[in-house]
Amino acid sequence: METQRETVAKFIERINAHDVGGIVALMTEDYRFVNSSGDSFQGHHFMREEWAKHFDRYPDFRIHVNAIIAGEEGVAVFGEAEGTYTSDDPVEEDDHWRIPAAFYGIASAGKIAHWQVYADSSVVFEIIKEHTHEG
């Protein structure tokens, strides 16, 4: 039987491979995602669309793992998240970001039931804001 740590590592591998189908296949039916702003989402169809949009927006998105701590209740992952924001504007060097991030996963029977992101995403939001044109 696969451990929670192994399931979380497999989930991160699918994220880093931008494998939307593989990510969704690793979700439990009641999978819950909590983003860095604390917003909570559920549903395979919704998450499939959101991951696809995420990889379109950040085509080089990647999670870098520095440490994993597995407990009985879940798995904490510490590292960094990285990507380059793309929009209709030309991509500039400043559109790339890399921020410290932590992730908390709860796995059951080889699937992820809960995935939560802890990061100060203000750098990413500032890049997006720079590309938002009002008119």
Mean pLDDT for the stretch of residues 101-110: 96
pLDDT at position 134, please? 46
**Which amino acid is located at 75 in the chain?**
V
Q: What is the pTM of this model?
A: 0.87
Q: Tokens standing for 62?
A: 């990647």
* Average pLDDT, rounded, for the chain: 89
pLDDT on residue 120: 72
User: Residue 73: left if φ>0, alpha if ψ -120 to 50, beta else—which one?
Assistant: alpha
Per residue in 65-80, pLDDT (tens digit) is: 999 999 999 999 999 9
Tell me what pLDDT residue 132 has.
65
Asked if pLDDT for residue 105 goes beyond 90, the answer is yes
Write out 88-134 in H/E/C secondary structure.
CCCCCHHHEEEEEEEEEEEEECCEEEEEEEEECCHHHHHHHHHHCCC
Q: What is the pLDDT of residues 110-135, one digit of tens each?
A: 999 999 999 977 656 676 677 665 44
> Residue 13: which residues within 8 A CB-CB, separation 6 or more?
none
Nearest one of 106, 56, 60, 101 to 79, comparing CA atoms: 101
Highest mean pLDDT among 14-23, 42-51, 120-129: 14-23
Q: What is the pLDDT of residue 135?
A: 40
Of 15, 11, 130, nearest in space to 74 by CA: 11
Domains and CATH numbers, the chain: 4-131 (3.10.450.50)
